[in-house]
Every structure is written in C-alpha cells, then in structure tokens.
C-alpha cells in the first residue's frame, strides 16, 4: 500500500518518555482532584515522586548513555537522544513546579484544616521542642557522621535516593574569609517523619531536626548554609531490557561499567546559595539541566508513608474494600472440582486474590496432586505462596518454580526467594538466557480416576498477594486439556527444551504474540477491505511498539474501528486524518492501578477475547517470555466484554487522548456518570452480600436440625467460623 511508509512517519508517534511523563501528570491530577479523599491525594502525590525517581534512574539513565555515546539515530517520533533528554528535563521541571504547588497550596492547607500538621521547627510548642531535642540526642546524634569535603580527600559517595545535608561553614575565630564544607548523610533507618507529642497528628521532618542542632557537630564553627540535597543515580542494571538495537546494547554494557551510578538528577533546596550549588554540581558531575531547585521538602515520597501514619480520619481515605470470594473456590471446598466443572474467571481486586493462594494451598495438601509448576516474578514480603510451595515439596509433590531473578529493583528479593525455595526442596529454574520471564502461569498436575489432569491459573499480573489488592488484573482457572499441554510445553521450554512446533491455544513471546496480533490485524485489514465491519478493542499498560502501532494505523485506515485503553505510555496518536481516524484512545487512572491486558477482535458480531501478560512494547514482544491466552467459555467471554464496556464508558476517571497529544477528561454532559472501578467494587460488594445472605439462610434452616454425624471432608474450622 502506498500509504505504508506514511504510517511510520515521525509525526505519527509520540516519544515514549514524554508519554510516560504525561502519565505521571495524570497521576498528579489525582492528587489535585478534590473528589478524591484527602489522604489518598497525599498518597498520589507521593506516588508521582517515586514514579519519577524510578523513571530517572532507569529511562533517563539509559538515554543519557546514548547521548554520551553520541548516538544520533532518532526514535520513532524523530527525536535524538539529546533532544529527548532536554525535553524530558524541561517537562520534569514543569512537573516539579506543579508537584510542589499542589503540595504547598492545596494539600498542606487542606491538611492543616483538619488538624494534621507538618511543622517547621519554629512552629513547635515548648514541649514539642523539648521532645525533638531529646530525640536528636538519643536517636540521631549517635548515628550521624559528618564528612569533611576538602581538597585533601575525595568527595564522599552520595548513594542513590539518600537525603543529605550540604553544609558551608566558617570558623568562629577567623575573620569570615575561609569557607569550609561538609556533607552529612541522613540515615534512612529512622524514617523521614517524626511524630510529635501533644497533638494527634503533628509531625516534623527529620532533616529539620538535624538542621536545628547541627552546630553540635561543628564546635568552633559557624554554619553559613545548610541545605538538603538528594541524587538519583543510574540504576539501569538490566541493559538487555531496553528498546535499542543489539549494537547499542553492547556499547551500553561497556559504558555501564565505566558510568554505572552516574547522577541523573540532583535536587537541592531552593534556599541554596550559589557557592554551594556550584560546588555540588561540580563534585557530583551534574549538568545544569539535571539540577532541580525545590521550594519545599525534598523527595515527596515520604507522603506515601505519612498518609499511613496519620491516626483517625478514616473519612479522608478510600472506604475499605474486600474483593468477592466465591465460596466454591475457598477453604472447605474442593477447588479442583470447581475448576473441572467450569472455567473460573477472576477479576482482581474485585474478585479476591485468595483463591489463587487457596489453589496452591490445596495443591500442597491434596493427596491426588503430583506436581506444581509456577512462575514467580515479584513476590510479596511474606508470601503465603512460598510457604505453601514449601509445604507441597515436603509433602512429596514435585514442585518446579521458575524464579525470574531480573525483575527490576527486586533482584535481591528474588535471589532470596530462590534460595529459600531450594532449601525447602523445590526445583528452582531460572528461565532463559537473555529473556526475562514475564509469564504468569501456575499448573497443578493431579492424578484422578479418569487419568492425569492439569489445572492451570493463567494471569495478566504477578503472583503477588500484596499488589493484588490494588492492581486490576485478570486471571483464569481452567483444566482444559489443550491449554494444559501448552502450559506444560512452556515450562519445558523454560527448562531449556526445544520450543514445540506449535501451541494449541496459547501464543508465546518472544515472537509468538507479535506474530499473532499482526496476523489478527492483517486479517482485520483484509476483511475491512471487503466491506465488513470489524471492531478491535485492546487494553494494556503501555503501547510503544512501532510496528504494532503502524499496523494499527493501517487497520484504522482500512476502516477497522479500534478502541484502545492504554493506562500509561501511548506512542500512538489517535484521530490523525488518513492515519488513525478510527482509533480512539482512553486512559484510566484511579484508585487501583489498571494492569489487565485484553485483546479483542469482533468480526460479524463474533468477538474473540484474549488476555495476556504482555503489553504492546517492543521489549515484551521480543525479549520476554510472555503468554497470551484465549477466553473460550462463552459466559466468561461475555463477562469480559461487559467489563470492557464499563471501562470504556467510564467518564469519571477516564481521560481521552486527543489528536493534539493532550489527555482530556470526558465530556459528561447528558451522560450518566460512571466510575468503572467504583462500579466494579459495588458489584463485588453486592455479590458478597448475596452470598452471605444465602449462607445465613442455610444456617437458619438447619438451626433446628438434629445432630448428624460430622462430615470429615469439610474443614471444620470454616464451619464454626461461619456459624458465628
């Protein structure tokens, strides 16, 4: 097609990093949204900070490396690495202003109104002042070590994300001519916030206490300037991850050794004097554009902790929510029977994550179970899953666990789990060289009367019981034989055996998912060309792969109607004439982190639904092991379609990506308001109520029943609990 070249033109793409910053803006908007409970807004602002820190230590780090290599090739949107870097810093500076305006002008005043205070040292009552003085002497003084910064020794190493004080001093007995410098690292072990006595919710930041009494370290000197500063360093350990060519990767590897830990961003208090500023820039080797002067406390990440430390004020938080747990997937019921009878669909967190844990628990203790195989990517701190896998191994089941060591920022954690699992007698495998395993699969092999049967859970999200409470994900329990064979093959593949010549139902990255989605889009383009009405909807976290985006443009141009729900990065530009007129893109940012991936194709009224662990990003399609699986059960299919439609019709938390690249709230005039996350929670609560009522009725009926012999098959503890 003559147009083919046009689809790939630079102007049709948004730069990936800038699009990510847009996403962080949307999170920031939540912190500014007055309809969001106050303490949650505080939390959202904290999230924007930690997001940004990660972004700088990985993405910006990666681009900085390209710049220092003089890599001139532009990205899909036509920007060179250098141009990207300057645009990123520009946009990040704007974001910083907005973050602190939000903090200083909206959140702090609103908190003060409800008697929640973050006090300055001069605002303390006498008793509070006495408290912090004592705190300084007892807790802080022993652990603080100021380090002199002079020509006789190297500048002290400032570790990533740590808060530090930069101090300029003069000697008391000298006539103010000579400047002395010192650096003091603020320990992270004590926490950033100190709760003050005399009030329910008075707090002070630890650096302000240290500043107040800092003179005690420098007897005979006068502190002239004391400023807080922080650095974000290059933490990009996993080079193979990034969307660049192989050659670059090699170079990056070399550069990394030289440059590892280079400072990507330096934050200082805006009260800094120019002497100290210059000194820090020089000593830390930071470019001017990477310097961020901040009007307020550094590192708003503490806000996430703060909202948790505040006592009372539950009215200022989201009402507590517990996902619906279907009875037949709970303790006391045979979960395998339920799955064998029918595929079970889960929509987390509206459906409780407990059945997944229960699935592993029952597998560990069920005498018919022979083996368990599972992929673990990020595991929560006190994961019951690990415990049950250990139980299973001790009970003589064959337990094979794939632990992905390379999950970013979790490397250490993962090594720990891998060793722990091995100690418990599990067979631990580490996946394939050069490919991160991102698949989320569990398989339980069970010997039944009719023969061996496999039970699977396939998911769009990690097996992490902690994040399952606020990530929206989808999961499927099934015992279909064809899917069982596919999953068994994936585990074999991950153990180093040849990829099978074909899969029955699943599609697997690397390559497989890209091929499948491309083939689907090609088929859609074909049919649309023949005048058929084709509709595609997709939901994912990020859309950045150039080839897939170009294919979507081609489909749009052929007349295929495409609805996209992309929470984060979206390099596609919708609504461009002759390119993407038929594409609409939404983003939902709300209480829960949208995390499920859905790919659906409607031809002649027939919809095919696929769920996946993969985003449409180059790394997910080419350099990771990911799975895509179909929803075959007609009822479940309908359920997913309904869910999607509610998400698509959301007009509270949704922003639409416009052709000009801006995200705008949906115009609600004349429409009924719909907050999809809210809606799903309400539905879940209703289901929970109905179930509780049914259970109560059953008990009422049996209240006057004579005793019968106890039934040993049911777990007695659940029975007594429900009898309360």
Residues 448-487, interacting with another protein (CB under 8 A): 451-452, 485
Q: Tell me whether residue 400 or residue 550 sits nearer to another protein (CB atom).
A: 400
Residue 471 among known ligand-binding residues: yes
Identify which range of 6-14, 140-148, 254-262, 496-504 contacts another protein by CB under 8 A.
Answer: 496-504
Helix count and strand count (H, E) for the chain:
22, 27
Out of 104, 497, 532, 716, the only residue in the binding site for another protein (CB under 8 A) is 497
Q: Is 89 exposed, middle or buried (0-12, 13-18, 19+ CB in 10 A)?
A: buried
Q: Is 370 in the site for another protein (CB under 8 A)?
A: yes
Out of 36, 371, 456, 570, the only residue in the binding site for another protein (CB under 8 A) is 371
Q: Is 447 in the site for another protein (CB under 8 A)?
A: yes
Q: Which of 270, 283, 324, 172 is nearest to 680 (CA)?
A: 324
Residue 137 among known ligand-binding residues: no
Q: Tell me whether residue 259 or residue 499 sits nearer to another protein (CB atom).
A: 499
Q: Distance (Å, rounded) from C-alpha 39 to C-alpha 51? A: 18
Q: Tell me whether residue 501 or residue 577 sits nearer to another protein (CB atom).
A: 501
Q: Is 712 in the site for another protein (CB under 8 A)?
A: no
- Tokens standing for residue 605: 């009224």
Q: Is 368 in the site for another protein (CB under 8 A)?
A: no
CB of 494 to another protein, least distance (A): 11
Residue 595 among known ligand-binding residues: yes
CB of 376 to another protein, least distance (A): 18
Q: Is 422 in the site for another protein (CB under 8 A)?
A: no
Is residue 253 a contact partner of residue 206, using CB atoms and an 8 Å limit?
no
Q: Is 113 in the site for another protein (CB under 8 A)?
A: no
CB of 500 to another protein, least distance (A): 7
CA 684 vs CA 40, 325, 342, 352, 635: distances in Å: 22, 9, 20, 9, 18
Q: Distance (Å, rounded) from C-alpha 518 to C-alpha 47? A: 35
CB of 188 to another protein, least distance (A): 43
Catalytic residue among 10, 72, 438, 586: 438
CA 550 vs CA 4, 37, 502: distances in Å: 8, 41, 27
Q: Is 501 in the site for another protein (CB under 8 A)?
A: yes
Is residue 4 a contact partner of residue 525, using CB atoms and an 8 Å limit?
no
Q: Which of 154, 591, 604 is nearest to 349 (CA)?
A: 591
Q: Tell me whether residue 141 or residue 365 sits nearer to another protein (CB atom).
A: 365
Q: Tell me whether residue 223 or residue 500 sits nearer to another protein (CB atom).
A: 500
Q: Cα angle vertex 619, ends 614, 624, to 5°?
A: 65
Residue 59 among known ligand-binding residues: no
Out of 361, 373, 539, 624, the only residue in the binding site for another protein (CB under 8 A) is 373
Out of 106, 162, 170, 492, the only residue in the binding site for another protein (CB under 8 A) is 492
Reported in sequence order, the residue ranges of 128-220 that DSSP labels E, i.e. its strands, are 146-149, 163-171, 180-185, 193-195, 202-205
Is residue 652 a contact partner of residue 673, using CB atoms and an 8 Å limit?
yes
Q: Which of 480, 248, 461 is nearest to 348 (CA)?
A: 461
Out of 78, 215, 367, 496, the only residue in the binding site for another protein (CB under 8 A) is 496
Q: Which of 372, 375, 356 is nearest to 364 (CA)?
A: 372
CB of 371 to another protein, least distance (A): 4
Residues 389-418, interacting with another protein (CB under 8 A): 398, 400
Residue 117 among known ligand-binding residues: no
- Tokens standing for residue 192: 């950033």
Side-chain half-sphere exposure of 52, counting CA atoms within 13 A: 31
Out of 108, 488, 527, 666, the only residue in the binding site for another protein (CB under 8 A) is 488
First to last CA, the chain: 70
CB of 417 to another protein, least distance (A): 20
Out of 224, 495, 505, 522, the only residue in the binding site for another protein (CB under 8 A) is 495
Contacts of 156 (CB under 8 A, 6+ apart): 147, 149, 183, 185
Identify which range of 218-226, 365-373, 529-537, 562-570 contacts another protein by CB under 8 A.
Answer: 365-373
CA 691 vs CA 349, 696, 697, 718: distances in Å: 18, 9, 10, 15
Q: Tell me whether residue 369 or residue 555 sits nearer to another protein (CB atom).
A: 369
Q: Distance (Å, rounded) from C-alpha 226 to C-alpha 281? A: 16
Q: Is 500 in the site for another protein (CB under 8 A)?
A: yes
Is residue 337 a contact partner of residue 352, using CB atoms and an 8 Å limit?
no
- State yes or no: is 137 an active-site residue: no
Q: Is 340 in the site for another protein (CB under 8 A)?
A: no
Residue 624 among known ligand-binding residues: no
Q: Please state, as a whole number, how many other Cβ atoms lie within 10 Å of the Cβ of residue 659.
A: 14
Identify which range of 125-133, 204-212, 494-502, 631-639 contacts another protein by CB under 8 A.
Answer: 494-502
Binding residues for another protein, total number by CB under 8 A:
21
Q: Which of 247, 212, 208, 214 is nearest to 228 (CA)?
A: 208
Out of 45, 445, 456, 490, the only residue in the binding site for another protein (CB under 8 A) is 445
Q: Tell me whether residue 191 or residue 496 sits nearer to another protein (CB atom).
A: 496
Q: Distance (Å, rounded) from C-alpha 330 to C-alpha 347? A: 16
Residues 632-691, interacting with another protein (CB under 8 A): none
Q: Please state, as a whole number, how many other Cβ atoms lie within 10 Å of the Cβ of residue 221.
A: 17
Identify which range of 63-71, 73-81, 83-91, 497-505 contacts another protein by CB under 8 A.
Answer: 497-505
CB of 367 to another protein, least distance (A): 12
CB of 483 to another protein, least distance (A): 14
Write out the DSSP string of 372-400.
EEEEESS--TT-HHHHHHHHHHHTT-EEE
Percent composition of the chain: helix, strand, coil (DSSP 3-state, to 5):
45, 20, 35
Q: Tell me whether residue 502 or residue 704 sits nearer to another protein (CB atom).
A: 502
Q: Which residues bind another protein (CB under 8 A)?
A: 370-371, 373, 398, 400, 427, 445, 447, 451-452, 485, 488-489, 492, 495-498, 500-502
- Give the catalytic positions in this structure: 438
Q: Residues annotated in the binding site for Mg(2+), as ranges?
A: 378, 408
Q: Residues annotated in the binding site, as ranges?
A: 51, 378, 408, 471, 567, 595
Q: Residues annotated in the binding site for ATP, as ranges?
A: 51, 471, 567, 595
């Amino acid at each position: 097609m003559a147009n083919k070249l046009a689809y790939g033109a630079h102007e049709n793409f948004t730069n990936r990093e800038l699009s990510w910053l847009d996403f962080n803006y949307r999170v920031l908007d939540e912190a500014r949204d007055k309809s969001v409970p106050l303490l949650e807004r505080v939390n959202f602002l904290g999230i924007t900070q930690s997001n940004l820190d990660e972004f700088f230590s990985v993405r910006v780090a990666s681009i900085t490396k390209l710049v220092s290599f003089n890599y001139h090739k532009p990205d899909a949107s036509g920007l060179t690495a250098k141009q990207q870097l300057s645009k990123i810093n520009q946009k990040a500076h704007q974001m910083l202003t907005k973050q602190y305006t939000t903090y200083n002008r909206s959140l702090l005043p609103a908190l003060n109104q409800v008697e929640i205070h973050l006090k300055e040292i001069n605002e303390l009552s006498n008793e509070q002042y006495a408290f912090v003085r004592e705190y300084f002497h007892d807790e802080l003084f022993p652990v603080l070590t100021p380090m002199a910064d002079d020509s006789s020794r190297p500048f002290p190493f400032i570790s990533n994300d740590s808060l530090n004080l930069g101090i300029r001093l003069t000697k008391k007995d000298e006539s103010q001519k000579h400047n002395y410098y010192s650096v003091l690292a603020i320990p992270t072990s004590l926490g950033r916030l100190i709760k003050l006595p005399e009030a329910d919710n008075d707090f002070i930041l630890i650096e302000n206490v240290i500043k107040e009494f800092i003179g005690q370290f420098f007897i005979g000197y006068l502190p002239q300037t004391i400023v807080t500063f922080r650095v974000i360093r290059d933490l990009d350990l996993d080079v193979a991850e990034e969307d660049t060519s192989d050659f670059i990767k090699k170079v990056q590897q070399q550069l990394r050794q030289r440059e590892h830990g280079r400072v990507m961003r330096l934050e200082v208090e805006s009260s800094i004097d120019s002497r100290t500023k210059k000194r820090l820039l020089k000593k830390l080797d930071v470019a001017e554009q990477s310097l961020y002067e901040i009007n307020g406390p550094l590192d708003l990440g503490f806000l996430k902790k703060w909202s948790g430390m505040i006592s009372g004020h539950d009215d200022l938080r989201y009402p507590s929510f517990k996902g619906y747990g279907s009875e037949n997937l709970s303790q006391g019921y045979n979960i395998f029977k339920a799955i064998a009878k029918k595929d079970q669909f889960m929509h987390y967190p509206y459906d409780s994550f407990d059945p997944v844990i229960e699935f592993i628990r029952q597998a560990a203790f069920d005498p018919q179970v022979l083996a368990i195989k599972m992929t673990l990517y990020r595991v929560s701190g006190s994961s019951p899953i690990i415990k049950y896998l250990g139980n299973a191994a001790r009970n003589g089941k064959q337990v094979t666990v794939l632990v992905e060591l390379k999950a970013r920022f979790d490397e250490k954690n993962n090594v720990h789990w891998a060793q722990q699992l091995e100690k418990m007698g599990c067979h631990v495998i580490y996946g394939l060289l050069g490919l991160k395993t991102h698949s989320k699969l569990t398989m339980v092999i069970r010997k039944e009367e009719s023969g061996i049967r496999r039970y699977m859970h396939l998911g769009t999200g990690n097996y992490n019981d902690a994040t399952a409470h606020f990530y929206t994900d989808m999961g499927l329990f099934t015992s279909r034989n064809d899917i069982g064979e596919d999953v068994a093959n994936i585990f074999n593949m991950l153990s180093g055996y040849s990829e099978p010549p074909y899969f029955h139902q699943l599609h697997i990255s690397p390559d497989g998912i890209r091929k499948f989605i491309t083939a689907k889009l090609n088929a859609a383009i074909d049919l649309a060309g023949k005048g058929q009405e084709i509709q595609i909807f997709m939901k994912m976290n990020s859309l950045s792969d150039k080839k897939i985006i170009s294919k979507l443009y081609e489909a749009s141009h052929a007349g295929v109607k495409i609805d996209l729900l992309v929470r984060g990065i979206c390099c596609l530009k919708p609504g461009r004439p002759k390119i993407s007129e038929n594409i609409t893109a939404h983003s939902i940012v709300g209480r829960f982190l949208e995390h499920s991936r859905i790919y659906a194709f409607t031809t002649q009224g027939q919809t095919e639904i696929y769920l996946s662990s993969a985003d449409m990003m180059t790394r997910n399609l080419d350099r990771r092991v990911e799975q895509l699986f179909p929803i075959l059960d007609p009822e479940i299919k309908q359920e997913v379609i309904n869910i999607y439609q509610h998400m698509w019709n959301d007009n509270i938390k949704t922003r639409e990506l416009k052709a000009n690249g801006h995200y705008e709230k949906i115009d609600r005039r004349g429409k009924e308001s719909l907050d999809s996350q809210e809606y799903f929670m309400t539905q879940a609560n209703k289901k929970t109520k109905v179930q509780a009522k049914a259970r109560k009725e059953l008990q009422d009926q049996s209240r006057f029943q004579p005793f019968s012999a106890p039934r040993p098959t049911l777990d007695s503890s659940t029975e007594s609990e429900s009898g309360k």
